[in-house]
Structure 1
């Protein structure tokens, strides 16, 4: 083969690649359509899997996996008996790391301690029918579970417990600069700049059209353009197999006189951020130092058709409210940037951490990234719940993460091996699990368990988690202290927990001052929204309170500091310049869009241990939460088995209403939606969200909102 033949073959290979990607996208659409048709057929009372399967080109097992209600009668337990298998089905186990012989004896506190006087009283529960126990949410046997990493044995693992040299969170010694900002509705062309409202002609709402129109109207310059409505980056979505492709094409379309920003200043952010819903376009004028961002208001809150004037007023109220607690507060481009900047301005100037909070080693940060999930998102489907729901009731924990910031891990982390943990007294063990820790554990579900799962386990897919609940199931995972303590002291039956390894920190309050100020800001803005007589100002105050929620929520997420993905574009004529480790995520006739991991940056504000502790506490509170003032409990474990339909980050969906107290405080369960049945049980996230929206509309609210 000569050079010309080689080049020709490469060109042909690229054509095949492009054809394959388009074919896969079309195949995915067809498979989704097929599955939806199967679900509709299953609604027929006499539908049978053995008839649907050949029509769909699937096996009977595949059809039953899609619609469990179609399982043949011979595979279903009798309705008046509870199946007692000799060997309970267990999920496929991830590869187990080598453990010391003492690991088998490293059993966490006994059932006796779990049933102490501090344990909540058992809820009044009626045993569910057998079909609600038959499938407890374990993945299909043929699916391969992820293997979670472990800490290496001996000296190799010990090196992980040293902080990153020369890297710590410190209080800034500069004043953050505000950016000139406008608010633009691309659907109507309404632009709000300070106290002025303009009407723009923005053509097809390309990035070039927007920049041209905005700078023609405001010649003195703008540094940030918030899109309040219109989603212009979705205008050509039908032309692309994936929404991200459409967004990338919109961001990277050539703009005469402008190029992609290369970043500047202390809050250096270079390049576009490709996101399906809330992208960020960063541009720099050719031959000059003028920089501008185009951002989505969806980063801050749902606008629900609000006029740009109301949104501008919301940002003014937000800035004024923050200034009461931070005299140098500046609203930055995103809630996460704003949250972390405000937090750095609460770092103490005296005391133990006046020199800053050290950053963990890259190895421990990587371990937390792989083993500490965020919110619990789980849909419980038939036969674990009835095919027809009597009701669907949504409870949402108000400003939930703010409830769990009072204690966070600080200081040098310690490794607690299975041998060390087993040698401690029961009191020392319980104190450690009450403290700030992250633990590798082996979990066994009690043989009599008949409720939802309590602890996350790795499931197929990148960073996917499920919550095993089948009696007798054993699995290995990582979890935080709040969840482990809940599993040991839950109001039903203690779970068996074996400590295999762990990381333990001192208890501290690095986020307490920051969170208290944000909670006070949220309380004040919420009160303004409630008592404000002017409807426009009331709405603006409400949106501002939602923005405070986002500052705390995404600020906590920013501490997790995920490994970064760098996105770039290369002309098709220069394809050989694409980095070797890059993944192609989009293309058109001129450009190829790619992304590649860049690992962990030397971010002085990277504290995944803080995010992990808060997320663990929030997941535990979805299961059980004590209300001291009311001497009562709330959460999924205080409902009858078979009544939990779904978990969604900080929301709980049930088939029965609950009399849980609500005092407008962070963490309280607020009734957000209520639909009366009978209703078909949702079998997909899309169906759940449709029912959720209908339930919220149907509920007569009192002006409260999470």
Structure 2
């Protein structure tokens, strides 16, 4: 870039800045007028929030916040369903979520942003048998059917290059609508094809500049007319009805109007991150290698549409058919599943700010835990849990208390940060906002929370200074190994593929092997997430002329001249493979390992607590960002800390996630790290 181009770019930025300010001001005026209109309409004696909400393009909760007199009588007591079905019958052009979709935000009344949310607790009455009784007639058992493969093609939607088996073709995709893609593909390939992976081009973003949010653009693309096709209503064991609206990786599901032909259009980005050099042929080879390596360890392996579907299907084929768990692994009661959903967070994401860190960092160094969750699957809770009250815990002998905290438990605790503490926080506490967590570290701070056994044990035995932890209540399981065989096979598959990627002489095949290894990581990562059975949103559309038909408990997520797009929580499915206790235990272990992790071979420790105070800049799921390099051992094993990025200082301390990610990417480029180990 020359000086003239740079100067012109600055001028363009100033123009954009001014336009953004004008647009923001205009938007604020419109929103103010909308709110005044809602307040005026609420004065009508027949006004109803469920009528006003779709007209305003808002959720009922927001309308009620503006006009409290419109609140339904049961709004203060009704709680959102703790989880949702994976498959729902079609209604008003429904869409259901992919199994590895990120958890949505449940509908709720707006809260004071300064007020931390309160976590649920176990019932205080003595009759808690219903909570601790497994769901009747529901258990994870070895499947009694053979999984069918789905013939697949790979399409670059920007160039029209299509790969079908060993053929490479170029298609005219027209306007890149779903209808144009289906027409072009099935004019070329047999009607037996059931899945189209988009490797590049993201056709669902083609009109993104016309919509305020990507989700709106995606929803419009999914719901556009497709002559000869209708939205899939589902069939078979692993079929899901309707489309799934996601800003980056949506799923379009169609079936022939006059036939039994079902097809999905999916993003290959569900499986791994692709770059501009990854052709459909390389992606095809990656899936082929993935299937071949999985077959070495899972003889009946089939690659399903998403990593989570594949991971859970592979796991079911490791369930023992004889021995202690021959009758399957029981599913917790709905009450305990809901409690775990509300009180067991996932990865730790925290950005520390000055004065806890310097304004100018001497460096920013990223250490990322390789294939981290695979490290924590060797022990998991099994069977029917029991309650351990605070009084019962206090009466236990010291060794029994130690064993309980080191075992498979989920604990309701009151925590006090010790005087003189000058390092990072150790335990998650509820923060304002749904499913938000922070990590108090100020000496003397006291808070009440829930945490898994690994984190509680770490807080009590950390290498710096023990924290005060009072057990208020708890859930304790027997320890077992329900995920061990599954995880070991996936780790062996991952090791084989990473080795191929490292030693393969052909660059394209090396890249395919690397992508396949990343897919194995996704299978385990999202497979674990699918056990959580988090609440799901059912998304649907309703014609603007029929806005009265929008469900009264739905949230409006988008609209255009023709359609209103809405979403709503649904209830628990009778899912035999719902085990949030497994996901919660793994997530807790992974968060604890970010703080301290023992390396037996080297007789040394790694993790944030083994760094000087004030050198931790951020945590991001499996990674920790520091201002000083560490001599932590790395043996290419799951859980090891890999030096992933190094950015020399001085570096201004990041103040947002966007700034952190920008610095992260620069640091990775500077280090020129090899992707095979990531």
**1:421-452 C-alpha deviation (Å, 9 max, x unpaired):** 00001111000001000000000000110000
SS in 2 for 1:160: coil
Tell me if the contact between 1:186 and 1:232 (Cα under 8 Å) persists in the aligned partners: yes
Tell me if the contact between 1:414 and 1:504 (Cα under 8 Å) persists in the aligned partners: yes
Whole-Å separation in 2 of the counterparts to 1:621 and 1:231: 37
Structure 2 vs 1, CA of residues 565 and 664 (structure 1 numbering), >3 Å: closer, same or farther?
Answer: same
Whole-Å separation in 2 of the counterparts to 1:10 and 1:701: 55
Name the residue aligned to 2:407.
435
Equivalent residue runs for 1:376-525 within 5 Å: 376-525=348-497
| Corresponding residue to 1:564 among 525, 536, 540 | 536
- TM-score normalised to the size of structure 2? 0.84
Matched, 1:146 2:117: yes
Name the residue aligned to 1:617.
589
| Corresponding residue to 1:160 among 127, 131, 140 | 131
Matched, 1:17 2:35: no
Report how many aligned residue pairs link the two structures.
584
> What are the ranges of 5 or more consecutive residues in structure 2 without an aligned counterpart?
1-43, 63-110
Whole-Å separation in 2 of the counterparts to 1:192 and 1:313: 10
| Corresponding residue to 1:627 among 592, 599, 610 | 599
Equivalent residue runs for 1:14-413 within 5 Å: 17-18=56-57, 143-305=114-276, 306-413=278-385
Q: CA deviation at 1:479?
A: 0.2
SS in 2 for 1:576: helix
Matched, 1:705 2:670: no
Tell me if the contact between 1:164 and 1:361 (Cα under 8 Å) persists in the aligned partners: yes
**1:140-169 C-alpha deviation (Å, 9 max, x unpaired):** 996111110000023443320000000000
SS in 2 for 1:241: coil
Whole-Å separation in 2 of the counterparts to 1:580 and 1:344: 38
Tell me if the contact between 1:278 and 1:298 (Cα under 8 Å) persists in the aligned partners: yes
Q: CA deviation at 1:221?
A: 3.6
Structure 2 vs 1, CA of residues 446 and 316 (structure 1 numbering), >3 Å: closer, same or farther?
Answer: same
Whole-Å separation in 1 of the counterparts to 2:386 and 2:530: 24
Name the residue aligned to 1:126.
none
SS in 2 for 1:500: strand
Whole-Å separation in 1 of the counterparts to 2:55 and 2:407: 56
Whole-Å separation in 2 of the counterparts to 1:433 and 1:10: 48
Whole-Å separation in 2 of the counterparts to 1:607 and 1:13: 39
Equivalent residue runs for 1:529-608 within 5 Å: 529-608=501-580
Whole-Å separation in 2 of the counterparts to 1:286 and 1:646: 52
Tell me if the contact between 2:113 and 2:433 (Cα under 8 Å) persists in the aligned partners: no
Whole-Å separation in 1 of the counterparts to 2:510 and 2:541: 44
Instruction: Give the RMSD, CA atoms, in angstroms.
Output: 2.0
> What are the ranges of 5 or more consecutive residues in structure 1 without an aligned counterpart?
25-139
Q: CA deviation at 1:621?
A: 0.2
Runs of 4+ that moved beyond 6 A: 5-12
Structure 2 vs 1, CA of residues 167 and 141 (structure 1 numbering), >3 Å: closer, same or farther?
Answer: closer
Whole-Å separation in 2 of the counterparts to 1:438 and 1:7: 48
Structure 2 vs 1, CA of residues 285 and 8 (structure 1 numbering), >3 Å: closer, same or farther?
Answer: farther
Q: CA deviation at 1:16?
A: 6.4
Whole-Å separation in 1 of the counterparts to 2:214 and 2:659: 21
Q: CA deviation at 1:574?
A: 1.7
Tell me if the contact between 1:215 and 1:221 (Cα under 8 Å) persists in the aligned partners: no
Whole-Å separation in 2 of the counterparts to 1:11 and 1:595: 14
Whole-Å separation in 1 of the counterparts to 2:48 and 2:527: 49
SS in 2 for 1:663: coil
Whole-Å separation in 1 of the counterparts to 2:379 and 2:360: 42
Tell me if the contact between 2:350 and 2:438 (Cα under 8 Å) persists in the aligned partners: yes
Structure 2 vs 1, CA of residues 266 and 10 (structure 1 numbering), >3 Å: closer, same or farther?
Answer: closer
Tell me whether 507-516 or 255-264 shows the greater mean CA deviation.
255-264
Whole-Å separation in 2 of the counterparts to 1:672 and 1:304: 18
Tell me if the contact between 1:144 and 1:460 (Cα under 8 Å) persists in the aligned partners: yes
